[in-house]
Amino acid sequence: MEVTIMVAQDELLTIMYNLILNPATRDWEREQLATAKNTIGAGASFSAALATLEGKLRPLALRNNLTPDVADFYALVVGDVAEADTFDLSRHFNPDAPYEDRAIFAGGCFWCMVEPFEQRPGIQAVFSGYTGGTIDHPTYDQVLGQYTGHVEAVEIIFDTRVVSYDDLVTLYWQITDPTDDMGQINDRGDQYRPVIFVRDDKQRAIATASKQQLDASGLYGKPIVTAIEPASTFWPAENYHQQFYKKNPKRYRLLERSRKQYLATQHLFGRVRVGLKQLRGQNK
């Protein structure tokens, strides 16, 4: 495969060097990167060494099995502008305006949690990340392996003049299964458990009242098990995961279609359950 070099040679070499030092890079990936870098350092053609490296990484890239930072590097090598584009995380670190607030929700794979919130009026930014765990700067592989106690989550910065925290909690219930504390739909494992992370007493009161209201609605035949926990440090995920629905629309639509079908069926059964209960009450 002919590779398209999108950035300067020196910049790519710097990225390769940083990936070799990156503890999140897998040993096999590190070996391929080091081989390419050493080959170039020995005087080999840069483009030829890069093409060989691309061929080594391609099988894993096609299966979406590269570590996130290496996946971003691969996107640079093959000229995938959309996927290689670095997502600006500065808004996460900048202070909020007086009229802004933040919400943190976990509800399965964060790939499917961004778009529903981001499309709402008043949303300033949505970040994919990790929270609720025991170590600093967790990596995707660590969270996926359930080594750190973190869950995949989204952090939402919103304009309180346009949309309320209560509105966001209501949407959260609509796009998650609140009866499953072992994951969400096809996403299994503790890192996918549903949690509302509250930042203060006001958010806790709103989330608690909303959960109680949902439990009393009779829409679900099982208990509402979504946890409400104090917010802790939110660690933004690697660039590869940010705005996944825009970078990988085909794969995202497949995942989202399955999720929506499951939830639509669950909600339909809930409405039938409530309707039958009301009918029985009328016939007494």
Answer yes or no: are the C-beta atoms of 193 and 156 closer than 8 Å: no
Answer yes or no: are the C-beta atoms of 154 and 105 closer than 8 Å.
yes
Q: How far apart are CA 40 and CA 125, in angstroms?
A: 41
| CA torsion through residues 19, 21, 25, 26, sign | positive
Selecting among 109, 169, 196, 231, the annotated active-site residue is 109
**Paired tokens of 278:** 């009301």
Strand partners, 231: none
Phi first, then psi, for residue 230 (nearest 5°) are -65, 140
DSSP code of 111?
G
Q: Residue 23 carries which side chain, given as an amino acid letter? A: P
Q: What does residue 283 show for φ and ψ, rounded to 5 degrees?
A: -90, -5
Burial 45-58 (b: 16+ CB within 10 A, else e): eeeebbbbbbebbe
79: CB partners within 8 A, 6+ apart: 3, 4, 6
Query: Does residue 112 have an active-site annotation?
Result: no
User: How distant, in Å, are the alpha carbons of 26, 142, 226 from that of 197?
Assistant: 31, 21, 10
**Token couple for 95:** 């202070």
Contact 199, 104 (CB under 8 A): yes
Task: Mention every residue, 6+ apart, whose C-beta is less than 8 A from residue 235.
Answer: 129, 130, 131, 136, 137, 138, 150
Q: Which residues contact 107 (CB under 8 A, 6 or more apart)?
A: 113, 172, 175, 176, 184, 194
Show which residues are catalytic.
109
